[in-house]
Amino acid sequence: MSVAARLEEIAGLGRDPSSGGYRRLAWTDPDLALREWFAGEAASLGLDVETDRNGNMWAWWGDAATDGAVITGSHLDSVPDGGNFDGPLGVASAFEAVEELQRRGVQPGRPLAVACFTDEEGGRFGVACIGSRLSSGALAPDRALALRDADGVTFAEALSRAGRDPRSLGAEPDRLSRIGAFVELHVEQGRGLIDLDRAVAVGTAIYPHGRWRVDFSGQPNHAGTTRMADRRDPMVAFARLVLAAQAQADALDTPTRAARATVGKVACTPNAVNAVPAHVTGWLDARAEDEGTLDALLETITGEAAIPGISVTVTEESRTPAQHFDVTLSQHIAGLLPGAPLLATGAGHDAGVLAEAGIPAAMLFVRNPTGISHSPEELAEDADCEAGGRALADVLADLLTAERLPR
Ligand code: GLV
Ligand code: MN
Ligand code: MN
């Protein structure tokens, strides 16, 4: 097969015809269909599939109970109206690499699994990397179970509806301690590889990042009779938040010190055209190359949103420190891929969560010619997908047959 052909198999799953984007939110029907596809791909390669207590899937080549396993893979869920590459490219490339290793007659000296982590995007319940964070212990089951989606459905209810037992959630220290190396291939989500004119890069780190909910409350009132001077309009404060996010991050985002801030989600009540709103909630996503810049960014943005008469509450929904991939493993991988540049990223990944938990983790990025991601315009050319699949196969062949894993 080919990586592109595998992606084509799922190209119809969860696609919204009106936007052309994918709505593969965790534990919805498209997610369940993708899980079936994962099981089918695994079966066709003779891999044994297991779903762990947190809903992450593992397709094993070799004995899952043996220490020092090499794990590859990514996720299959998407943001609302995302592309077909963010996540699936890593899973499809992993299956393609396994097929390539089998074709080459590689005899693995240790087990290998293709992993698919649950709800990496946090597109439904607001917290990213739920599956890997539950397994590493970074997210407590009680907190996860109480999360709600936009329709008020809790994570616990969503699990039950999908036929899973919500009480099964929990950390998996034994499983994670058996991982000798995790290598996640992912579509690049910016312009790094376009600028460098290369197809594949090795990841170095993920910038510190987080999500904050900012609640504004004012005085709901009539749009026609309330004098402008008498208004307490939370929408105005919200607008200041958006403008401050743009201006502050823009001022700090330089080629040597990245800073990003986005307000991509908003809710307004009562949401009526002829009423000054009662409440507005905006979600701020902020990221920066270092913790100090992120702190400064957050403080200035939320400070600038404050106006008299409007109450402002800032709630941290998640915050992830800088995550550094394993230097020895990453340098070893770079040595196997001559000419592959090293890239840090502002996007979050399960590989970062595992790295934070002390697991040797590394990433490969595949060029995205549009430089656009979390959008239907996200892309990877067929030739680059195959280059990525071959690079992953070369890396896995080395790790599976090395006397000892790089430490
Ligand atoms: C995940 O892709 C994220 O960085 O939000
Ligand atoms: Mn992703
Ligand atoms: Mn993503």
CA of 121 to the centre of ligand 2 (A): 7
Residues 128 and 271 in one domain: no
Asked whether residue 171 is domain-assigned, the answer is: yes
pLDDT digits (tens, 9 = 90+) for 219-266: 999 999 999 999 999 999 999 999 999 999 999 999 889 999 999 999
Domain that holds residue 298: 209-319
- The last residue of one of the domains, among 319, 343, 370, is 319
What integer is the mean pLDDT of 214-221?
Answer: 98
- Ligand 1-lining residues (CB < 6 angstroms): 121, 128, 347-348
Contact between 261 and 249 (Cβ < 8 Å): yes
The two three-digit tokens of residue 234, written as one number:
């939370």
Q: Counting atoms of ligand 1 from 1, which one is nearest the CA of 374? A: 2
Residue at token pair 């006397």: 403
Q: What angle do CA 121, 127, 129 make, to 5 degrees?
A: 50
**Shared-domain flag, residues 215 and 202:** no
pLDDT in tens, 190-202: 999 999 999 999 9
Whether the pLDDT of residue 189 is over 90: the answer is: yes
Give the number of the ligand closest to the Cα of residue 122: 1
- Is 406 part of any domain? no
Check whether residue 290 and residue 358 sit in a common domain. Answer: no
* Ligand 1, atom 1: closest residue by C-alpha: 348
Q: Are the C-beta atoms of residues 264 and 276 closer than 8 Å to each other?
A: no
Q: Which numbered ligand comes closest to the C-alpha of 207?
A: 1
Determine the atom of ligand 1 nearest the C-alpha atom of 346.
4
pLDDT at 294: 97
Among 86, 121, 260, the mutation site with the greatest number of ligand 1 atoms within 8 A of its Cβ is: 121
Decide which of 319, 337, 366 is a domain's last residue. 319
Between the alpha carbon of residue 148 and those of residues 80, 123, 137, 165, 226, the distances in Å are 16, 11, 20, 17, 35
pLDDT value at residue 256: 86
Give the whole-angstrom CA distance, residue 373 versus residue 24. Answer: 15
Round the average pLDDT of the chain to a whole number and report it: 97
Q: What pLDDT digit, counting tens, does each position of 286-339 carry?
A: 999 999 999 999 999 999 999 999 999 999 999 999 999 999 999 999 999 999
How large a percentage of the chain has pLDDT more than 90?
99
- The alpha carbon of 121 and the centre of ligand 3 are apart by a number of angstroms equal to 5
Supply the pLDDT for residue 325: 98
**CATH code at position 259:** 3.30.70.360
Last residue of a domain, one of 269, 304, 319: 319
Q: What is the mean pLDDT of residues 146-173?
A: 97
271 touches 280 (CB < 8 A): no
Cis peptide before 270 (omega within 30 of 0): yes
**What is residue 255's predicted lDDT score, i.e. its pLDDT?**
86
- In the reported structure, the alpha carbon of residue 120 is separated from the centroid of ligand 2 by a whole-number distance in angstroms of 7
Neighbours of ion ligand 2 (CB under 5 A): 86-87
DSSP run (H or E) holding 334:
helix 327-336
Residue 201 lies in a domain: yes
For 157-218, the DSSP string reads HHHHHTT--GGG----HHHHHTEEEEEEEEE--SSHHHHHT-SEEEEEEE--EEEEEEEEE-
341 assigned to some structural domain:
yes
Residue 290 Cα, ligand 3 centroid: separation in angstroms? 21
